[in-house]
Amino acid sequence: MAIKPLYDRVVLKRMDPAETVKGGIIIPDTAKEKPMEALVVAAGEGKFDDNGKRVPMSVKAGDKVLIGKYSGTEVKIDGEDHVIVREDEILAIVQ
């Protein structure tokens, strides 16, 4: 299914953290925290400013970004978990 977010919203797929830590300890699923790193799946066209002009988005599909652990709305798309956030909820672009 193709999805196109509206205005300044971005569809993200959280990136899975490593299963083990440096000491070799395996972390069970129940103890894992939500990853803060995500991949941009789709981005809207941007919101409108006070003059009615569209402000372009800073992120695009394929960008790797950092988001808050509990930001956005969790949704399932084609059986996979995704998060929809506003552009201003994105903390940084990872380069």
Using an 8 Å Cβ cutoff, are 6 and 86 in contact? no
Nearest to 43 by CA among 82, 94, 87, 81: 87
Is 60 exceeded by the pLDDT of residue 86? yes
Is the full-model pTM beyond 0.85? no
Return the CATH superfamily for domain 9-16+31-94. Answer: GroES chaperonin (2.30.33.40)
Per-domain boundaries in the chain: 9-16+31-94
Is 70 exceeded by the pLDDT of residue 70? yes
Rounded Cα distance between 28 and 19, Å, is 8
* The one-letter amino acid at 10: V
Instruction: Please tell me the predicted confidence (pLDDT) of residue 26.
Output: 67
pLDDT tens digit sequence for 12-58: 998 876 555 566 666 665 655 566 889 999 999 988 889 989 988 88
Structure tokens at 22: 């440096």
> What are the backbone angles phi and psi of residue 31, rounded to the nearest 5°?
-100, -5
